[in-house]
């Protein structure tokens, strides 16, 4: 099925997509209190994660988990806006859609706490590579990871 709204191609399509993304980001900041709160926290936690991370992997996990909170919030807000556009009447399917979006957000927030706990440990290596003993054995790290994850 072809959409009559998708007529741009090439560079024009990329420019439009970037503009629509910025408009969506601005709408979330303007209309979604939860997104504004999470954006403020991200402004604090991103630099903190980059500073606390001891390796590139740790920094990527910390930064990625913070950014994923924002992505999930944007998706949840999109679902809620689409449902409200269809009807503001109470309907079981509308409630289910909103509840599922909320569940994705809560699940990820719990996962973010897990990632923070794991990422702040020393990176699992069998050899530190610099002659120091300031690294964590992989088997020890794995057993600790399973304890935290509950597996």
Is 73 a residue of the active site?
Answer: yes
Question: Residues 32, 58, 73, 147: which is the catalytic one?
Answer: 73
Q: Give, rounded to a whole angstrom, the gap between the first and last alpha carbons of the chain.
A: 45
pLDDT tens, position by position, 1-47? 667 777 778 888 889 889 999 999 999 999 989 899 999 999 998 99
Task: Give residue 50's pLDDT band: very low, low, confident or very high (50, 70, 90).
Answer: confident
Euclidean distance between CA atoms 102 and 139, whole angstroms: 36
| Ordered structural domains, the chain, with CATH | 10-73+106-120 (1.10.287.3610)
- Average pLDDT of the chain is 78
Q: What is the pTM of this model?
A: 0.64
136 - beta bridge partners? 124
pLDDT tens, position by position, 88-110? 788 888 888 888 887 777 765 55
Average pLDDT score over residue span 56-82 = 87
Contact 149, 114 (CB under 8 A): yes
């Amino acid at each position: 099925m072809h959409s009559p709204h998708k007529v741009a191609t090439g560079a024009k399509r990329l420019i439009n997509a970037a503009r629509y993304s910025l408009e969506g980001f601005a709408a979330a900041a303007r209309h979604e209190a939860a997104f504004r709160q999470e954006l403020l926290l991200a402004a604090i936690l991103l630099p903190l994660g980059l500073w606390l991370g001891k390796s590139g992997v740790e920094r990527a996990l910390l930064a990625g988990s913070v950014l994923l909170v924002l992505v999930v919030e944007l998706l949840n807000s999109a679902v809620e806006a689409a449902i409200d556009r269809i009807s503001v009447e109470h309907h079981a399917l509308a409630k289910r859609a909103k509840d599922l979006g909320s569940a994705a957000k809560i699940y990820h927030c719990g996962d973010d706490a897990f990632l923070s706990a794991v990422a702040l440990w020393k990176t699992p290596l069998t050899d530190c590579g610099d002659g120091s003993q300031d690294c964590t054995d992989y088997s020890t790290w794995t057993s600790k990871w399973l304890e935290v994850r509950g597996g």
